[in-house]
């Protein structure tokens, strides 16, 4: 095949030399020359073809007119030995695919001073096709001759004219995709091991429909496009066996899809409960074990029908549902400012209101604080209601689900200074672990960074559990250890009061740190990451012993137009308890876990390429560091 392509390339560099009347345009003259070229090529007359070349002709492979003359002579000799027609040999395998021969239909003529370019000039056969760009110049006697030839396209598959047009369109789409991917990859803030929107701006970017099914973690996410002619929300779909390397799936849930969850129905089939634009809350069932194909129920929506005078008429919104199966009964939470519960003996209904979700309120939380992105599950002897309010961001209640109502005992937030940690979703895996994700806003109040061609970042997966004290525990799953490399370790040293200690041997913006430290004196102690050499940029992570809080200070993390806050989560060490920090830096994300009891997230956007340093500090007192460990973390996203 390659030999054939070389031969055809050599043939295609021929161009015509016929002179045309003086009253025609340059374009007409040159196109007439090309038609003469095709005629000479069909005839297979090597001497006539060579006359079309300037003595100074060359091509992008370094060929000259002399080397072309030798090539034609060898081809003529070979054809004579075999008794073949010369034109057929020079024309390659003409074939009968309907698209063979020479094609000038798409050729354009470009005049640049005394040089004229004609492209593409295409030859197609049953073995493939080649397209060249020819440069011509008018020489003595008014004759146009070829001065340079460059191959601009080729295919090793047979294509007719329509096939070439379709393939060209596919190439254009692929080029657009590659250019966008390259643009995305050049974003210094794009995380490498947090799952991110593959391409395009997604807002919202809620995780949804998470389920462990047939050995894989499946995670759906909301994104938007205009495939239906209008901007609509759809569910993207990825799966993984290790929680960090995700594989994209075909889109099976599109057109007006909002928040929802996935559970197993009575038939053992994954089922999603979601909000459908224009309908309300709805159900869909999986049609295959890859969870690529889904059937939205014809009986949708699941919103109970009520009328004036009914007990529940007008009380509840058909909004942000969460569905589950308990015994032989299907239930669903309907979110909103007054969340309710509905139930039905079958997925297809009849669905009826049970009543309010909450049996009573919790001190410090208004009863009408909206419940959206609800997620209800059991940990130990407690039921957990994980949700958001649009005002507070991610939050949760601990309590008990009984008598078809939730009895809350306590409430806690997962975002404090703003709502940047948002839209939680969880699943239970085959190890019995409860694993959650959340959408990490680019900036507070749903700020979007779209300039690099994408937006949409998930939190690290968090393993949730219940401690001996009945309170929530959270940490990163052990699977992240497979991404570690370049280990660093140092033990047993003291940080002096009011001095930063720059750690030689640790640096970068894709890191995991583990620090075991304690102080009976210091008011604040911790670590600074993404530190520039002069301290102009830095992000501080520390324990505030006076206030009893875990803090992340981003006021010096980047330029003035980047988020600048001090996130502060309630956290107080017990008597004799040491501070054990796990700090994850992933370009524009910092996630911190303290003693598996509290976690804080912030977005940062350093502007300096050298903002990669790490230093430890202690304020108003010395701090003993029992262990400092660090690893580089390899990117797990494909781009």
CATH of the domain at 248: 2.115.10.20
Q: Is there a domain that residue 585 lies in?
A: yes
Q: Vertex 232, ends 229 and 238: CA angle to 5°?
A: 120
User: Which strand (E) or helix (H) includes residue 71?
Assistant: helix 65-82
How does DSSP assign 88-105, residue by residue?
A: HHHT----SSSS-EEE-T
Which structural domain, as residue segments, surrounds residue 536? 483-633
Answer yes or no: are the C-beta atoms of 133 and 139 closer than 8 Å.
Answer: no
Residue 174 domain flag? no
**Pair type for strands 200-201 and 454-455:** parallel
Looking at the fold, whether 415 and 555 belong to one and the same domain comes out as no
Do 515 and 443 sit in the same domain of this protein? no
Q: Within this chain, do residues 604 and 562 fall inside the same structural domain, yes or no? A: yes
Residue 181 located in a structural domain: no
Domain termination site, one of 432, 451, 475: 475
Q: d(Cα 100, Cα 93) in Å, to the nearest integer? A: 9
CA dist., res. 120 & res. 103, Å (int) = 9
CA distance 334 to 470: 27
Give the model's pLDDT for residue 92: 39
Q: How many CB atoms are located within 10 Å of the residue 379 CB?
A: 17
- pTM here? 0.87
**196, part of any domain:** no
Q: Quick one: 158 and 255 in the same domain?
A: no
Domain boundary residue, one of 456, 475, 494? 475
**Same domain, yes or no: 419 and 541:** no
Please tell me the predicted confidence (pLDDT) of residue 79.
60
Residue with tokens 């397209």: 131
What CATH code is carried by the domain that includes residue 6?
3.10.450.50
Q: Are residues 209 and 319 in the same domain?
A: yes
Angle 2-12/65-82 helices, nearest 10 degrees? 120
**Quick one: tokens of 480?**
């992240």
In a domain, 180, yes or no: no
Confirm whether 506 is domain-assigned. yes
Give the Cα separation of 36 and 305 in Å (integer): 78
Q: How far apart are CA 15 and CA 38, in angstroms?
A: 8
According to the model, what pLDDT value does residue 21 have?
Answer: 40
What pLDDT sits at residue 564?
Answer: 95
Based on the fold, state whether residues 442 and 563 are members of the same structural domain: no
**Rounded-to-integer distance, Cα 437 and Cα 210, Å:** 9
Instruction: Please list the ranges in the chain whose pLDDT falls under 70.
Output: 1-24, 75-100
Residues 471 and 614 in one domain: no
Q: Same structural domain for residues 457 and 570?
A: no
pLDDT on residue 70: 86
Complete DSSP assignment for 497-510: TTEEEEEEEEE-SE
Phi and psi at 553, nearest 5°, equal -105, 115
Shared domain for 397 and 525, answered yes or no, is: no
Where residue 551 falls (left for φ over 0; alpha for ψ -120 to 50; beta otherwise) is beta
Which residue, 13, 18, 12, is CA-closest to 30? 18
Are residue 490 and residue 378 in the same domain, yes or no?
Answer: no
**CB burial of residue 430 (10 Å; 0-12, 13-18, 19+):** exposed
446 domain residue, yes or no: yes
Token duo for residue 350: 């009849």
Domain count across the chain: 3
Q: Are 337 and 370 in contact (CB under 8 A)?
A: yes
503 and 410 inside one domain: no
Q: CA angle, 56 as apex, 54 and 61 as ends, to 5°?
A: 110
The Cα 561–Cα 568 span in angstroms is 21
Tell me which of 475, 506, 526 is where a domain ends: 475
> 344 lies in a domain?
yes
What is the model's pLDDT at position 160?
82
């Amino acid at each position: 095949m390659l030999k054939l392509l070389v031969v055809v390339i050599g043939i295609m560099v021929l161009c015509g030399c016929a002179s045309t009347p003086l009253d025609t345009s340059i374009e007409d003259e040159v196109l007439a020359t090309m038609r003469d070229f095709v005629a000479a090529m069909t005839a297979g007359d090597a001497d006539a073809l060579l006359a079309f070349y300037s003595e100074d002709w060359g091509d992008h492979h370094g060929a000259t007119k002399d080397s072309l003359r030798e090539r034609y002579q060898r081809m003529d000799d070979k054809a004579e030995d075999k008794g073949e027609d010369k034109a057929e040999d020079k024309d390659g395998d003409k074939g009968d695919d309907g698209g063979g021969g020479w094609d000038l239909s798409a050729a354009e003529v470009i005049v640049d001073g005394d040089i004229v370019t004609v492209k593409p000039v295409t030859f197609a056969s049953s073995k493939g096709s080649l397209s060249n760009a020819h440069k011509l110049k008018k020489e003595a006697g008014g004759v146009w001759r070829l001065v340079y030839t460059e191959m601009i396209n080729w295919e090793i598959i047979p294509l007719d004219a329509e096939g070439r047009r379709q393939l060209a369109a596919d190439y254009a789409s692929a080029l657009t995709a590659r250019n966008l991917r390259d643009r995305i990859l050049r974003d210094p803030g794009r995380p490498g091991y947090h799952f991110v929107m593959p391409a395009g701006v997604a807002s919202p970017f809620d995780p949804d429909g998470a389920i462990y099914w047939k050995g894989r973690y499946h995670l759906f996410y909301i994104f938007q496009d205009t495939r239906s002619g209008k901007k609509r929300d759809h569910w993207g779909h990825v799966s993984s066996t290790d929680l960090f390397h995700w594989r994209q799936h075909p889109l099976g849930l599109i057109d007006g899809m909002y928040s929802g969850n996935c559970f197993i129905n009575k038939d053992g089939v994954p089922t999603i409960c979601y909000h459908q634009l224009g309908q309300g809350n709805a159900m869909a069932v999986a049609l295959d074990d890859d969870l690529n194909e889904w059937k939205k129920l014809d009986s949708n929506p699941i919103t109970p029908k009520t009328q004036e005078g009914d007990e529940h008429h007008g009380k509840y919104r058909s909004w942000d549902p969460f569905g589950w199966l308990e015994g032989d009964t299907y239930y669903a939470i309907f979110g909103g400012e007054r969340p309710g519960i509905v139930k039905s003996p079958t997925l297809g209904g009849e669905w009826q209101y049970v009543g309010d979700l909450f049996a009573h309120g919790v001190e410090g939380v208004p009863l009408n604080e909206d419940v959206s992105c609800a997620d209800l599950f059991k940990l130990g002897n407690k039921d957990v209601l994980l949700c958001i309010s649009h005002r507070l961001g991610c939050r949760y209640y601990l309590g008990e689900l009984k008598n078809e109502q939730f009895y809350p005992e306590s409430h806690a937030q997962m975002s404090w200074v703003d709502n940047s940690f948002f839209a939680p979703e969880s699943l239970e895996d085959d190890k019995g672990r409860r694993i959650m994700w959340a959408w990490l806003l680019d900036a507070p109040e749903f700020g979007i960074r779209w300039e690099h061609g994408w937006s949409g970042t998930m939190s690290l997966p968090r393993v949730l559990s219940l401690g001996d004290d009945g309170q929530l525990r959270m940490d990163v799953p052990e699977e992240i250890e497979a991404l570690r490399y370049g280990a660093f370790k140092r033990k047993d040293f003291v940080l002096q009061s009011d001095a930063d200690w720059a750690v030689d041997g640790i640096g970068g913006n894709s890191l995991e740190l583990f620090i075991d430290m304690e102080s009976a004196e210091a008011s604040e102690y911790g670590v600074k990451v993404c530190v520039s050499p002069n301290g102009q940029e830095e992000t501080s992570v520390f324990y505030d012993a006076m206030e009893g809080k875990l803090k992340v200070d981003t006021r010096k993390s980047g330029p003035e137009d980047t988020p600048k806050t001090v996130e502060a989560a309630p956290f107080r060490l017990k008597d004799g308890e040491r501070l054990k920090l796990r700090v994850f830096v992933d370009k524009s994300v910092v996630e911190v876990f303290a003693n598996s009891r509290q976690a804080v997230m912030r977005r940062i956007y350093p502007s300096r390429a050298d903002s990669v340093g790490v230093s430890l500090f202690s304020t108003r007192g010395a701090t003993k560091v029992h262990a400092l460990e660090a690893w580089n973390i390899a990117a797990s996203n494909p781009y």
